[in-house]
Amino acid sequence: MSLRLPSEIVVERFLPTARTMLAAELHDRGFTQKEVADRLGLTQAAVSKYLRGDVTVEDRFADDERMQATVDAIADGFADGSMDGYEALAELLDLVRAFEDRGPICAVHEEEMPALEGMGCDLCVRGTDDAVLAEREALAAVRRASRRISNAPGMAAHVPNVGTNVGTAVPGAADATDVAAVPGRLQAVNGRIMVPADPEFGASQRVAGAIIAAMSVESDVRGALNLATSAELLDAARERGIDPMEFDASYEDRGERLRERFRERGAVPRLVYHGGAFGIEPVCHVFGETAVEAAALAVELVESAPTGPRPED
């Protein structure tokens, strides 16, 4: 595994790109190569290289509107005398911080150090406090669970038309922004499940609502995913000693109604379902301590229902 610091990305990729763009903008504004060199703290020979295009530019930085706006602002400030080197440095440091926080520097860093995929900024920018570690663990759980169900034979037949989502909440979650899920949902396409994006917090209202409701009764139940309700899945759950809980299909106050049903039961069944309504297809939620456990149970249930869903009797 390669070991790369974000500062290396700044020095090797960001800085040459910024200098190339600034040299070109200042030259276009009538600065001589010596004047450009003085402004940027470079030799005239180095400026000549930048202007000739002899330096590799990182397109992900150069094409970013924030980078272009910062370079234009600095060049204009140098040209009209409204900005000095201190202020220009402050502008560039602000841009670096923005690029390191889930921005293009983070993207390049994760590309060059794959072990950071999906959580590089959490480590580099936010540190390793308990809250950040909990967020990283939630994101990792959703990634693993998504892979598990997308690779499970026969799972695509149990994906609702609206798609499936997978979620894990951080401990003490209060709303959907504390629940990691997949933006755009997982979709069944030609018998396969497609995962459209890496997980993010706040990406699912419905699965998040079910998880938050479950946590109000059992705080350790922080993961869930949704599938199409079918007699096969319900029968498979009962065979495993799970007593599925039915709830009303209406979206209105669904989270609160689920809380009430869980409180009535005194626990969170590992499978809850509704039979659908006008314009609402039947959907069930499978729960676990995290999305990983929920996915494992979902795969077990589907393996017991290989022929695909049929309407509940």
Provide the residue type at 79 as one letter: A
Per-residue pLDDT of 206-260, as tens digits, reads 999 999 999 999 999 999 999 999 999 999 999 999 999 999 999 888 999 999 9
State the DSSP code for 97: H
Indicate the average pLDDT of the chain: 90
CA distance 199 to 146: 9
Asked if 166 and 271 sit in the same domain, the reply is: yes
Q: What is the rounded average pLDDT of the residues 56-85?
A: 94
CA distance 216 to 175: 12
Can you give the CATH number for the domain in which 139 is found?
3.40.225.10
Within-domain flag for 71 = yes
Q: Which of 67, 88, 116 corresponds to the end of one domain?
A: 116
Q: What is the rounded average pLDDT of the residues 40-53?
A: 93
Checking if the pLDDT of 127 tops 70, the result is no
Give the rounded distance of the alpha carbon of 197 from its chain centre: 7
Q: Which two tokens stand for residue 35?
A: 């004047």
Q: Which of 94, 116, 138 corresponds to the end of one domain?
A: 116
Asked if 175 and 105 sit in the same domain, the reply is: no
Asked if 225 and 163 sit in the same domain, the reply is: yes
Within-domain flag for 272 = yes
State the DSSP code for 116: G
Within-domain flag for 122 = no
- Side-chain half-sphere CA neighbours of 74 within 13 A: 28
Question: How many domains in the chain?
Answer: 2
Within-domain flag for 124 = no
The predicted pLDDT at position 243 comes to 96
Asked if 49 and 196 sit in the same domain, the reply is: no
Q: Which residues contact 30 (CB under 8 A, 6 or more apart)?
A: 79
Per-residue pLDDT of 178-215, as tens digits, reads 999 999 999 999 999 999 988 999 999 999 999 999 99
The predicted pLDDT at position 20 comes to 95
Asked if 188 and 85 sit in the same domain, the reply is: no
Per-residue pLDDT of 298-308, as tens digits, reads 999 999 885 55
CA distance 269 to 146: 22
Asked if 142 and 279 sit in the same domain, the reply is: yes
Within-domain flag for 312 = no
Within-domain flag for 137 = yes
The predicted pLDDT at position 122 comes to 59
Within-domain flag for 179 = yes
Asked if 243 and 104 sit in the same domain, the reply is: no
pTM beyond 0.85: no
Q: Which of 116, 151, 166 corresponds to the end of one domain?
A: 116
Give the rounded distance of the alpha carbon of 307 from its chain centre: 33
The predicted pLDDT at position 119 comes to 56
Asked if 299 and 175 sit in the same domain, the reply is: yes
Asked if 232 and 85 sit in the same domain, the reply is: no
The predicted pLDDT at position 101 comes to 78
Asked if 231 and 134 sit in the same domain, the reply is: yes
Domain region containing 38: 6-116
Asked if 158 and 285 sit in the same domain, the reply is: yes
Asked if 96 and 191 sit in the same domain, the reply is: no
- Core vs surface per residue 232-246: b (16+ CB within 10 A) or e: bbbebbeeeebebbe
Within-domain flag for 169 = yes
Query: What is the chain's alpha carbon radius of gyration, rounded to the nearest angstrom?
Result: 26
Confidence band, pLDDT 50/70/90 cuts, at residue 128: low
C-alpha triplet 94, 98, 101: angle, nearest 5°:
140
